[in-house]
Amino acid sequence: MNRTSRKIFVLILLLIVFLFVSVDASIIDKIKKAIVITAERIQGWNLSLHEAMFYKKLADGSVQCQLCPFKCIIPEGGRGICGVRANVNGTLRAMTYGKPVAVHIDPIEKKPLFHFQPQSKSFSIATAGCNLSCIFCQNWTISQALPEESQHITMMPEQVVQQALTSGCKSIAYTYSEPTVFFEYMYDTGVLAHQAGLKNVWITCGYINEEPLRKLCEVLDGANVDLKGPTQFYQEYTKSGREPVLRTLKILREEGVWVEITNLIIPGANDDPDSIRAMCRWIADSLGTDVPIHFSRFHPNYKLTDRPQTPIKTLRMARQIAMEEGLQYVYIGNAPGEEGEDTFCPTTGEKVIDRKGFWILEYKVSPQGKCPDGTPLPGVWK
Ligand code: SF4
71 Cα to the center of ligand 1, angstroms: 6
Ligand 1, atom 2: closest residue by C-alpha? 82
Q: Which of 81, 132, 182, 208 to mutate to test the pocket of ligand 1 (most atoms within 8 A of CB)?
A: 81
Mean pLDDT per 10-residue section of the chain, whose length is 382 residues: 49 39 66 87 98 98 98 97 97 98 98 98 98 94 94 98 98 98 98 98 98 98 98 96 98 98 98 98 98 97 95 97 98 88 96 94 97 98 93
Reduce the secondary structure of 351-371 to three states and give it as a string.
EEEEEECCEEEEECCCCCCEC
pLDDT at 32: 73
Rounded to whole angstroms, how far apart are CA atoms 73 and 203? 26
Cα distances from 224 to residues 31, 276, 291, 332, in angstroms, run: 28, 18, 10, 14
pLDDT at 129: 96
Cα distances from 210 to residues 69, 187, 215, in angstroms, run: 9, 15, 9
Residue range(s) in the chain whose domain bears CATH number 3.20.20.70: 102-341
Rounded to whole angstroms, how far apart are CA atoms 44 and 148? 9
Class for the domain spanning 102-341: alpha beta
Q: Does the beta carbon of 161 sit less than 6 angstroms from any atom of ligand 1?
A: no
* Residue 204, beta-bridge partner list: 225
pLDDT at 24: 61
Q: Angle 189-253-139 (CA atoms, 0-180°, nearest 5)?
A: 55
Question: Helix, strand, or coil here: 344?
Answer: strand
240 Cα to the center of ligand 1, angstroms: 12
pLDDT at 281: 98
pLDDT at 22: 45
Q: Does the beta carbon of 56 sit less than 6 angstroms from any atom of ligand 1?
A: no
Question: Helix, strand, or coil here: 332?
Answer: strand
For the question of whether the overall pTM of this predicted structure is more than 0.85, the answer is yes
Q: How far apart are the first and last CA of the chain?
A: 70
Q: Which of 27, 72, 211 to mutate to test the pocket of ligand 1 (most atoms within 8 A of CB)?
A: 72
